[in-house]
Homo-oligomer: A and B are copies of this chain.
Amino acid sequence: MMTTTTMKRKAASYIFRYSRNFHSDQRFNLNRNNSRLLSGTFLCCKTPIIRDSTPISQYCRDAYHASAINHFRMASGFQFRRFASLSSVVQRNPSFSRLNSDDIDFFRSILGEKNVVQDEDRLLDANTDWLRKYRGSSKLLLQPRSTEEVSQILKYCNSRDLPVVPQGGNTGLVGGSVPVFDEVIINLGLMNDIISFDKVSGILVCEAGGILENLSSFLDNQGFIMPLDLGAKGSCQIGGNVSTNAGGLRLVRYGSLHGSVLGLEVVLADGSMLDMLTTLRKDNTGYDLKHLFIGSEGTLGIITKISILTPSKLPATNVAFLGCKDYSSCQKLLVDAKRKLGEILSAFEFLDNMSMDVVLNHLEGTRNPLPSTMHNFYVLIETTGSNDSYDKEKLEAFLLRSMEDGLISDGVLAQDINQISSFWQIREGISEALMKAGAVYKYDLSLPVEKMYDIVEAMRTRLGNSAIVIGYGHLGDGNLHLNISTPQYDDAVLAQIEPFVYEWTSNHRGSISAEHGLGLMKANKIFYSKSPEIVQIMASIKKLLDPRGILNPYKVLPHSLGS
């Protein structure tokens, strides 16, 4: 059975999310059928979204071999980048060994023949990230079936100085889940058992390789939901979600994984198995080490099992689409919604009129739910609760009052699942519309809500007529999607944007990576959000838990610190 919310999201998001919503096995097939990966045409078939913040010209400058640079614009209107090795900017750690036939023999002895994968097509997929931006040159993919096998693999690799990359669904957006050079890939996809589910407490215990959507389906039958939901749920694995501290669509209601994850089992670089797999909501017996592994992107240990608190499934969903005259009204509306809707508020999203404009102009089949006039800002409010009529009455009363107070200029309440879907389509269609509009420079920032829109206006002032600057995102979470649209990629525009956007974010105590992580892409940009003292402690903890540095090398920590 599918909840109203899930149905809505599925319907609303298929246009630009569909490509991430297939099962990992299907994905492998798809990739194989559409490759060659060096052909730029691959991307336009199924993966038109470029989500990260660095435009193609910078990739070229930073990472690509000069000979591989090839800007082009597709007939569809999308602009794409090409991938290439990063070896030109990151040096392989010379202390790492090279894989040899004895190593292969050892892995076969513990995993069996078929789980020691050397097939070229499989390796090509596993070496390449979802955005086709990064590609490693690993010659080996291992598929352990148990924590003990993970432990044996790591113990051996550690003793041999063989670097490894833990890989879940490989849906990350910052190059964290693929090898940079010849690291051994460890994929936990075969470890996908549900170990236990306690219907009284709502606590699920499962192996790390479970696909998020499969876990959601299991819970749906039990009357529960996962506390996180992502566009990539059809491929991503819960171990990867936890390792990257994935945010997603339910964060405003159910909080981050640091609150939901109750316990972990982790294998350290030397093969030690750490049992922190508690199923308790309260446990104050010493330092809560599991938090070190949540969001450390596989650089401190490999998560093999997870215990997670799941919320009950609630039947009623309502969505309103509103026009506001200024950003200040959006903020006030958020304050009131949190107070008046309180416990049923499940999403509070905003977009500016530039965002609406780009959607209406570039996304077929969309229409403004408030067509009589363009408003400066639009807000989408979703409620989820246990009684539909109560929730609807509450929402209507809130909206009426907010109109009387002048916070809302106009608004409409969805009457059925189709309307819910079409409202979400506008908010979620902005990314695709931007891609169709031309070149786009994308930034995913966390900022204090009161400052969130200032960077949009500052960027407009800075760029003048040379670009269209739009702002939208999760107002309830303080997560801004700042996007700059130009007819084509231009180094002069980029030079106006960066490092200004990072410096501005840093000066306002924001985060340069709200939920994507640092991976390889932003490892060297960590200082924009973290002080040298903090980064030094991170490096010391890395050294403590992984002294030989074999776990996901070159990621998260700056290369100057030897990561």
Chain A residues with CB under 8 Å of chain B are 198-203, 223, 244-245, 247, 251-252, 255-256, 258-260, 272-289, 291-292, 294-296, 300, 312-314, 331-332, 334-335, 338-344, 384-387, 390, 393-394, 446-450, 477-479, 509-518, 522, 526, 528-531, 533-535, 537-538, 540-541, 544-545, 556-557
Contacts and interface: CB of A to CB of B under 8 A. Distances in A.
Closest 7 CB pairs of A and B: A259-B259, A291-B291, A343-B343, A283-B511, A342-B386, A285-B529, A282-B514
Pick from A276, A533, A534 the residue with the most CB of B within 10 Å. Answer: A534
Contacts of A530: 285-286
A313 B390 CA distance: 19
Contact of A342 (B247, B314, B531): B314
Contact of A446 (B280, B331, B390): B280
A347 to B, nearest CB: 14
Contact of A285 (B260, B277, B390, B526): B526
Contacts of A512: 285
A452 B384 CA distance: 31
A343 B287 contact: no
Contacts of A199: 335
Given A534-B275, A537-B289, A449 B198 contact: yes
A275 to B, nearest CB: 6
What is the count of identical protomers in the complex? 2
Given A340-B386, A342-B314, A544-B544, A449 B515 contact: no
Contacts of A446: 280-283
Nearest to A285: B529
A275 B531 contact: yes
Contacts of A477: 281-282
Given A291-B291, A531-B275, A537-B274, A517 B284 contact: yes
Pick from A277, A280, A540 the residue with the most CB of B within 10 Å. Answer: A280
A331 B255 CA distance: 25
A252 B245 CA distance: 22
10 contacts: A198-B448, A252-B281, A256-B281, A274-B531, A283-B446, A284-B513, A285-B513, A289-B541, A292-B292, A343-B385
A441 B285 CA distance: 20
Contact of A282 (B275, B300, B338, B511): B511
Contacts of A300: 287
Given A280-B478, A540-B544, 4 more contacts: A258-B258, A280-B510, A312-B338, A342-B385
